[in-house]
Amino acid sequence: MTEAPTARAGLDAIADPTGVFSIVAMDQRNTLRRMFAAVGHPAETADLRQAKVDVAAALTPVASAILLDPTFGVPAVHAGQALAPSCGLLIAAEPEERGSYQGEPRTHRDPAQDAAWVRSMGGDAVKFLVQLRPDRRPGRGEPDLAAEVIDVVRAVVADCRAAGVPAVVENLIYRLPGEPELTPDQRADLIIESARILDDLGVDLLKLEYPGSAAACRRLSGVVTGPWAVLSAGVAFDEFQDVLRISCDDGGASGFIAGRALWKEAVGLDGAARAEFLTTVARPRLEDCLRAVDGRARPWHAAQRAARG
């Protein structure tokens, strides 16, 4: 994989001074609405905006960056002046309403939501979510959904390189229609093969699911040449601590991009109660994550050198 130095240098804006990522994910939109509904509080726009402001105010003084959506998060956090000066800004550029084909996610890109658009909102990097099943083969007359993902990611990377903005791509594995629950080995194989394909496209930073074990992390480190960060996927916080240590020790991860594992209980709280939770529980959780990766995470610069070597 070849790198564009201007794009790679941009990763410093979302990493800490040592080159490690400690990014808070607060880009949820429909997921956040469902979280509010689950606690008996159907969310209005004001609720979504306030939740994002509250999380940003409490956690960005500690985080290397925050991941926000452009619909509610970016405008609310800017208006509330809730972004700490030391914290970078990663903006989700995938369309809010994603397509589907007979029950499968279908990736598409809005050309207007490009790197220049992200930069115009004060973003330091583009985040783009895809769902790639590398083993999917289209039937007669069906679209090639895996090829569509690859084409979209290729376009995102090219656009980001032209603009000098880092491209961060997140992949989530999914079950095919009618497919039984994936075994741990199947999930690991799919996560690793997807990561290999996306890494070959020149993505600056991969945001990946935990492949399930130390052995799978070692396999992942053998196929991914650039930096990657592990996502929390809503797992329990204690479990995420183990995920962090293994991902770094065995997978060469350059840090984490964590959301619900840090702040999910705050959704059911309001006002002073939410502020207290974020200050006394969520922020210490983030600090625990920083300790978990300290001395373990591979700085993204080292991953870049390994790719060039």
Give the pLDDT score at 99.
87
What sign has the CA pseudo-torsion 31, 35, 38, 42? negative
**Measured between alpha carbons, how far is 220 from 52 in angstroms, rounded to an integer?**
33
Statement: residue 78 has pLDDT above 90: yes
The pLDDT of 70-82, averaged and rounded, is: 97
Domain that holds residue 38: 5-308
Statement: residue 140 has pLDDT above 70: yes
> Which residues pair with residue 207 across a beta bridge?
170, 229
Statement: residue 136 has pLDDT above 80: yes
The model's confidence at residue 233, banded by pLDDT at 50, 70 and 90, is confident
Lookup result for tokens 């002073």:
272
**Measured between alpha carbons, how far is 80 from 74 in angstroms, rounded to an integer?**
10
**Measured between alpha carbons, how far is 97 from 101 in angstroms, rounded to an integer?**
13
Percent of the chain with pLDDT over 90: 87
The model's confidence at residue 6, banded by pLDDT at 50, 70 and 90, is very low
Tell me, what CATH number does 147's domain have? 3.20.20.70
SS (H, E, C) 4-52: CHHHHHHHHHHCCCCCCEEEEEECCCHHHHHHHHHCCCCCCHHHHHHHH
Give the pLDDT score at 41.
87
pTM across the whole model: 0.93
More confident residue, 92 or 305: 92
The model's confidence at residue 9, banded by pLDDT at 50, 70 and 90, is low
- Average of per-residue pLDDT values in the chain: 93
Closest CA to 266 of 64, 47, 70: 47
Least confident of 45-59, 80-94, 168-182, 224-238: 224-238
Total domains in the fold of the chain: 1
By the 8 A CB rule, do 206 and 227 touch? Answer: yes
Statement: residue 280 has pLDDT above 80: yes
Angle between helices 184-200 and 214-223 (to 10 degrees): 20
Q: Cα 80 to the chain's mean position, in Å?
A: 23
Give the pLDDT score at 306.
60
